[in-house]
């Protein structure tokens, strides 16, 4: 059965749902939504669909969530190939850097279906990060690259991608953040045991393997959170919760205010009121920057240097004293909150949907981008410079 003219939108994780929801809304009936099943529980998937009002997907794969990475990608590759064979779309959209992105891009490419990569061109230059490998795979297979920032577009062009298939769209996180925060009905004070908002507080999220796969790394972070000079709302990812139990680090959470992962709208509402965020999440780096909340990034590297360049983020690598680094960061001068977000003007999904529709209708990617750019003014930069000084770290 053919669905030529349809735009297959593939997601499988919380960040993908959040960032693709505006695109799905813009596409309306032209969207054919596929859930890879990478995050299979309600806590990390179902609630986000409800918040953004995108309903259930058209197709959901089974037996993917909770599997090791290689097994997960292989199962998704087989499952998505069958989906695209049975319901062949005109283009497949993937978003970001998850295992779902790698599998969906491969499945579509092997079947000769154009691939559009949303949030293309981010680079940490750290191949130890699984996300970096997924980004590179998507970059190699995509037919059209929707770069969220000028810097991301330059990364792609410096890697040899034809500038005619690169478009700076902005990041859909801007739209998603503002839309979600309006839907929250949970008062910020309700997250605190005494029902009162303290004068200063931190919001923390930790989930990446580099921080949760070893006891020393996770213990360092938990003790660092305990050492902050303010109450800490710690929203505990299921992976992190399991690691705390596995390593016996419950004592290192004493004094922290623990909560399960909340709905996106509720998380963003409390984030907007926080003094500082402490996180290893790429999405939180962006969301905090959109909301103009300082964010301390607990990682060895970041693929989102724009937040750091804008003055809203700082990188705290292993070996650095977390409480001292957060205190220094909070003492540093913040930019004017009226300065626009480095992630764009909030119209990214409109641009992405327009290009996707044109490609699904049979236009070549370069032609589709030229048509869309003529209306939006969003084109690939012409000043890519191939030298070590242009590589963000």
Active-site residue list: 207
- Closest to 5 (Cα-Cα) out of 359, 392, 334: 359
Edge to edge, the sheet with strand 2-11 lists 59-60, 31-35, 2-11, 88-95, 115-118, 144-147, 166-168
- Closest to 348 (Cα-Cα) out of 148, 190, 195: 148
In whole angstroms, what separates CA 329 from the centre of its chain? 24
Rounded Cα distance between 93 and 290, Å, is 24
Three-state SS for 59?
strand
Beta strands 257-260; 166-168: pairing state: unpaired
Q: Given the structure tokens 């000079």, which residue do they identify?
A: 229
Burial of 190 (0-12, 13-18, 19+ CB in 10 A): exposed
- The DSSP 8-state label assigned to residue 172 in this structure reads T
Half-sphere exposure of 114 (CA within 13 A, CB side): 24
Rounded Cα distance between 295 and 278, Å, is 6
Phi, psi of 32 (to 5 degrees): -120, 105
Rounded Cα distance between 228 and 225, Å, is 5
E strand residue ranges, 128-226:
144-147, 166-168, 202-205
């Amino acid at each position: 059965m053919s669905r030529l003219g349809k735009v297959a939108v593939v997601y499988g994780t919380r960040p993908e749902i959040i960032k693709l929801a505006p695109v799905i809304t813009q596409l309306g009936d032209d969207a054919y939504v596929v859930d890879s099943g990478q995050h299979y529980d309600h806590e990390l998937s179902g609630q986000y669909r409800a918040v953004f009002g995108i309903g259930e997907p058209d197709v959901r794969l089974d037996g993917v969530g909770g599997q090791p990475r290689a097994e997960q990608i292989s199962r998704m590759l087989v499952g998505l190939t069958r989906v695209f064979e049975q319901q062949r779309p005109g283009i497949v959209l993937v978003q970001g850097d998850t295992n779902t992105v790698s599998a969906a891009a491969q499945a579509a490419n092997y079947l000769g279906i154009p691939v559009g990569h949303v949030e293309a061109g981010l680079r940490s230059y750290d191949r130890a990060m699984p996300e970096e490998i997924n980004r590179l795979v998507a970059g190699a297979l995509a037919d059209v690259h929707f770069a969220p920032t000028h810097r991301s577009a330059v990364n792609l062009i410096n890697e040899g991608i034809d500038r005619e298939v690169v478009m700076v769209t902005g990041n859909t996180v801007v739209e998603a953040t503002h839309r979600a925060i309006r839907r929250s009905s949970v008062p910020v004070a309700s997250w605190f045991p005494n029902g009162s908002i303290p004068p200063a507080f931190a919001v923390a999220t930790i989930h990446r393997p580099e921080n949760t796969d070893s006891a020393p790394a996770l213990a360092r972070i938990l003790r660092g959170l305990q050492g902050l000079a303010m109450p800490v709302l710690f929203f505990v990812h299921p992976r992190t919760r399991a690691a705390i139990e596995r390593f016996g680090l419950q004592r290192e959470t004493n004094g922290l205010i623990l909560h399960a992962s909340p709905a996106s709208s509720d998380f963003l509402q409390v984030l907007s009121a926080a003094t500082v965020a402490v996180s290893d999440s790429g999405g939180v780096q962006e969301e905090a920057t959109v909301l103009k909340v300082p964010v301390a990034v607990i990682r060895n590297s970041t693929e989102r240097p724009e937040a750091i360049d804008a003055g809203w983020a700082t990188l705290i690598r292993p070996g650095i004293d977390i409480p001292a680094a957060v205190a220094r960061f909070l003492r540093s001068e913040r930019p004017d909150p009226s300065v626009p977000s480095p992630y764009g003007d909030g119209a990214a999904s409109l641009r992405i949907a327009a290009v996707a529709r044109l490609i699904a209708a049979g236009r070549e990617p370069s032609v589709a981008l030229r048509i869309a750019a003529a209306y939006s003014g969003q084109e690939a930069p012409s000043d890519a410079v191939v030298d070590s000084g242009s590589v963000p770290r």
